[in-house]
């Protein structure tokens, strides 16, 4: 059951991700505001190639990390007073939004 990613699955990714740009410096609005039919076609072609080959492009695995202090902590000299936020590539992030549970292989 390794069916191709469908138009409906691609369409379902629009409007789901935050607008924070990752290492690729592409944000969700750029994709959401592009010609929907053309963008869907491009994403479907690209994601099906990734799916068929069974590996993510290395750039999609890159992330930018920020350490943010948790509010209300008494001692900011301890690691537990902070949390990490990771921002990843928008193309990989959107691909993750497709329900892969019904598919047999994953990366």
Range of the domain at 23: 7-61+89-96
pLDDT for the residue 1 = 44
Going by C-alpha positions, the residue among 52, 49, 46 that lies closest to residue 13 is 46
82 falls within a domain: no
Asked whether residue 105 carries a pLDDT value surpassing 70, the answer given is no
Q: Looking at the domain assignment, is residue 81 inside a domain?
A: no
What's the chain's average pLDDT?
Answer: 86
Query: Could you tell me if residue 103 is inside a domain?
Result: no
Banded model confidence at residue 43, pLDDT cuts 50, 70, 90? very high
| Cα gap 18→27, rounded to integer Å | 8
Count of domains observed in the chain: 1
Q: Is residue 42 part of a domain?
A: yes
């Amino acid at each position: 059951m390794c069916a191709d990613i469908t138009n409906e699955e691609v369409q379902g990714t629009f409007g789901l991700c935050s607008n924070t740009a990752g290492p690729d410096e592409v944000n969700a609005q750029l994709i959401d505001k592009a010609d929907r039919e053309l963008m869907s076609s491009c994403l479907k072609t690209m994601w099906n190639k990734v799916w068929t080959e069974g590996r993510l492009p290395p750039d999609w695995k890159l992330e930018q990390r920020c350490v943010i202090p948790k509010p209300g902590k008494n001692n900011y000299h301890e690691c537990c007073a902070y949390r990490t936020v990771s921002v990843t590539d928008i193309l990989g992030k959107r691909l993750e939004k497709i329900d892969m549970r019904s598919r047999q292989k994953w990366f």
